[in-house]
């Protein structure tokens, strides 16, 4: 019965060599220096990080991680933070969303956009649930500058549309599939989802506020501070 044994051995070896280890699935190495970031932008100009208000002046910021008013109860960004960033094509798509909403007297409010990789590690230490917080092994599309957390506001009153739950409300009621909600809330969520998808974003089933850009893997994880990015954006308007 030598033959079945070798068949088994071959199958086992094949399995070992063809299945990558968890760390090899995606490279968790984030770009940390301005020089390395600059070099990627030189090779591929769409990788530019753009400050959102520089392109969309009437967009509203409520950057939750620059306050303690977030699920960690800790301030994770500098309290003085007044800028946030996304990759160039993602910012351009968001600009189109805002242009379209503006015609209805509405606009976007941003809770979070680019998030340095080191902050994702801090979040993971607080909530070890991949449904809600990116596992640092993979990194988050926020670290790539290709994901954004947002809602819709009335431009005149700056009031948020009722979405049924707040941002970072980690329960079923924040899921797109959760429909036991008043009609007005379902319509508001649908308005956001439809307009974001129309301009190319992808919704995330577990969080009504989170949208990401397709082909995010093309953009490296970044661990560059907001201050450094702001200086860089100033010199490269």
42 by Cβ neighbours in 10 Å (0-12 / 13-18 / 19+) ranks as exposed
Footprint of Zn ion on residues 193-212 (CB under 5 A)?
Answer: 210
| Contact status, residue 116 vs residue 49, Cβ threshold 8 Å | no
Footprint of Zn ion on residues 109-138 (CB under 5 A)?
Answer: none
10 Å Cβ neighbour count for 155? 17
By CB under 5 A, tell whether 149 contacts Zn ion.
yes
Looking up tokens 């577990």 gives: 206
Considering beta carbons, is residue 87 or 210 the nearer one to Zn ion?
A: 210
By CB under 5 A, tell whether 168 contacts Zn ion.
no
Residue range at the interface with Zn ion (CB under 5 A); choices 97-105, 149-157, 171-179, 213-221: 149-157
Binding mask 210-229 for Zn ion (x = CB under 5 A): x-------------------
Known catalytic residues are: 207
Each as own residue / partner, the long-range contacts of residues 190-199 (CB below 8 Å, 24 or more positions apart, any chain) are 191/152, 191/161, 192/150, 192/151, 192/152, 192/161, 192/163, 195/97, 195/100, 195/101, 196/97, 198/100, 199/93, 199/94, 199/96, 199/97, 199/100
Residue range at the interface with Zn ion (CB under 5 A); choices 90-98, 114-122, 129-137, 143-151: 143-151
188 by Cβ neighbours in 10 Å (0-12 / 13-18 / 19+) ranks as buried
Considering beta carbons, is residue 37 or 65 the nearer one to Zn ion?
A: 65
Considering beta carbons, is residue 98 or 216 the nearer one to Zn ion?
A: 216
Considering beta carbons, is residue 141 or 188 the nearer one to Zn ion?
A: 141
Strand, coil or helix: 56: coil
C-alpha separations of 154 from 60, 67, 98, 200 in Å: 11, 23, 12, 23
Residue 234 CB, shortest distance to Zn ion, in Å, is 26
Considering beta carbons, is residue 37 or 211 the nearer one to Zn ion?
A: 211
Binding residues for Zn ion, total number by CB under 5 A: 2
Residue 78 CB, shortest distance to Zn ion, in Å, is 19
Footprint of Zn ion on residues 3-62 (CB under 5 A)?
Answer: none
Q: Which two tokens stand for residue 45?
A: 């100009």
Strand, coil or helix: 100: helix
Residue 210 CB, shortest distance to Zn ion, in Å, is 4
Residue 168 CB, shortest distance to Zn ion, in Å, is 9
Residue 87 CB, shortest distance to Zn ion, in Å, is 15
Enumerate binding residues for Zn ion (CB under 5 A): 149, 210
């Amino acid at each position: 019965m030598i033959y079945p044994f070798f068949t088994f051995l071959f199958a086992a070896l094949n399995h070992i060599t063809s299945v990558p280890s968890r760390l090899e699935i995606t490279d968790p190495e984030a770009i940390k220096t301005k020089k390395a970031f600059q070099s990627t932008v030189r090779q591929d100009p769409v990788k530019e990080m753009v400050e959102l208000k520089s392109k969309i002046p009437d967009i509203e910021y409520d950057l939750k991680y620059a306050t303690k008013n977030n699920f960690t109860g800790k301030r994770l960004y500098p309290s003085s933070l007044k800028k946030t960033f996304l990759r160039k094509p993602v910012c351009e798509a968001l600009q189109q969303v805002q242009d379209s909403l503006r015609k209805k007297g509405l606009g976007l409010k941003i809770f979070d956009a680019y998030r340095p990789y080191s902050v994702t590690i801090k979040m993971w230490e607080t909530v070890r649930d991949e449904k809600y917080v990116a596992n640092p092994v993979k990194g988050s599309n926020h670290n790539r500058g290709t994901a954004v957390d947002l809602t819709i506001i009335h431009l005149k009153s700056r009031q948020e549309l009722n979405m049924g739950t707040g941002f970072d409300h980690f329960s079923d009621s924040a899921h797109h599939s959760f429909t036991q909600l008043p009609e007005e809330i379902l319509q508001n969520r649908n308005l956001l989802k439809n307009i974001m998808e129309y301009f190319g974003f992808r919704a995330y089933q577990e969080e009504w506020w989170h949208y990401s850009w397709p082909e995010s893997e093309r953009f490296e994880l970044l661990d560059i501070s907001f201050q450094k990015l702001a200086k860089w954006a100033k010199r490269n308007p």
